[in-house]
């Protein structure tokens, strides 16, 4: 019996389409014109909640506040949009000046934002050992940086509590619901970051020339897109996400919240992060990260550098690679970022 040569797998078509160059892939054209067009497209695909001038009041609540060896930590709640409340930890370093740098910190697929301050999830009292330098808030405080550690939708304390889930993290269900409603979970998460910036606007200790976003894995995803589309973000530090779409989320199993309808025919990941140029940017990667392969990360970074060079900011864009897998690498990441904060 002859072996079939028919193209029966869905991927036969998809892989062929992936070979096509995205129509807005940066090729040394006018940077301003390219950026305006791509930014519009990326925002459309994010389909963020229609906040604008009609944003609901933040209604900030302080849930608790405690001293810490590195400063102080306060847990707050604020309203992002109608029927959506956000939990976050406000981390302030010791002896800080009137205006200090801030970073919005985002956990990925994990037990939640409590990891950012190294405590248990349920009552936030018991100290825990956080692997992979994911205690982002504490690392910020140690370096004299304030942090707003946001709990992302469908993670941690914002996990689904009412509907029976199809997946452990709940991101699949939330992603599918958002798509049916003409939204994306990614866009909703970026919107929450923007609302976190609205909260920072109510404070008097924010240096608005130094307001960054950082996160690992799923936190790296939102760091990339928030850094690209939110103008109030000035510094960007995504970890263990930046790669090529083709070699990561399009070739290896990833959760549904990594996908944005219609994006890949328009742009590669380096184009998306290139929208952040000339903002200081540190890309963090793991040498043996098996879901965001390092060779493809280096390839994407070379293209990102061409965009930064065109923006006259090639020294503002750095790649640091840790000797390990899918985790954050605090020492080398901050060694690269701190000089760009001074």
Q: What is the mean pLDDT of each run of 10 residues along the chain (342 residues)?
A: 79 93 97 98 94 82 98 98 97 92 97 97 95 98 98 95 77 94 97 98 98 98 98 98 97 94 97 98 98 98 98 98 98 98 92
Long-range contacts: 162-170, Cβ < 8 Å, 24+?
167/255, 167/256, 169/109, 169/255
Tell me what pLDDT residue 161 has. 87
The residues, ordered by sequence, that sit 6+ positions from 337 with a Cβ below 8 Å of its Cβ are 212, 235, 237, 280, 282
Tell me what pLDDT residue 5 has. 74
CA gap 249, 31 in Å, rounded: 27
Tell me what pLDDT residue 167 has. 67
How does pLDDT run across 125-170, given as a tens digit for each residue? 999 999 999 999 999 999 999 999 999 999 999 999 888 877 667 7
Tell me what pLDDT residue 52 has. 59
| 108, 326 Cβ separation under 8 angstroms | no
The residues, ordered by sequence, that sit 6+ positions from 140 with a Cβ below 8 Å of its Cβ are 91, 93, 103, 105, 146, 147
Q: Decide: residue 332, CB within 10 A, 0-12 exposed, 13-18 middle, 19+ buried.
A: middle
Helix 171-180 with 185-201: angle, nearest 10 deg: 90
A 10 A CB-CB count for 291 gives 18
Tell me what pLDDT residue 2 has. 64
Domains in the chain and their CATH numbers? 26-341 (3.40.50.1820)
Strand partners, 149: 89, 105
Tokens of 123: 């009552």
């Amino acid at each position: 019996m002859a072996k079939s040569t028919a193209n029966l797998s869905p991927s036969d078509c998809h892989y062929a389409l992936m070979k096509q160059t995205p129509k807005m892939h940066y090729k040394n054209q006018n940077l301003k014109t390219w950026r305006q067009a791509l930014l519009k497209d990326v925002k459309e695909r994010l389909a963020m909640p229609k906040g604008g001038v009609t944003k609901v009041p933040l209604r900030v609540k302080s849930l608790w506040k405690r001293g810490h060896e590195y400063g102080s930590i306060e847990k707050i709640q604020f309203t992002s949009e109608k029927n959506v409340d956000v939990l976050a930890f406000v981390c302030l370093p010791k002896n800080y000046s009137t205006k200090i740098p801030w970073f919005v910190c985002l956990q990925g697929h994990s037990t939640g934002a409590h990891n950012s301050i190294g405590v248990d999830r349920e009552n936030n009292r018991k100290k825990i050992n956080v692997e992979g330098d994911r205690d982002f808030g504490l690392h910020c405080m140690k370096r004299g940086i304030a942090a707003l550690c946001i709990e992302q939708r469908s993670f941690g304390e914002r996990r689904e509590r009412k509907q029976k889930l199809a997946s452990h993290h709940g991101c699949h269900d939330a992603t599918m619901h958002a798509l049916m409603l003409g939204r994306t979970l990614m866009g909703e998460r970026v919107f929450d970051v923007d609302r976190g910036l609205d909260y920072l606007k109510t404070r008097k200790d924010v240096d608005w020339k130094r307001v960054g976003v950082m996160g690992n894995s799923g936190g790296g995803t939102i760091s990339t897109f928030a850094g690209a589309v939110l103008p109030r973000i000035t510094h960007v530090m995504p970890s263990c996400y930046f790669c090529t779409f083709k070699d990561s989320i399009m070739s290896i199993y990833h959760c549904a919240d990594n996908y944005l309808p219609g994006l890949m025919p328009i742009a590669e990941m380096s184009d998306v992060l290139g929208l952040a140029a000339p903002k200081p940017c540190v890309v963090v990667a793991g040498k043996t990260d098996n879901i965001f392969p390092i060779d493809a990360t280096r390839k994407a970074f070379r293209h990102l550098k061409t965009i930064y060079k065109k923006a006259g900011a090639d020294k503002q864009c750095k790649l640091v690679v840790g000797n390990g897998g899918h985790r954050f690498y605090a020492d080398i990441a901050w060694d690269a970022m701190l000089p760009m904060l001074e």
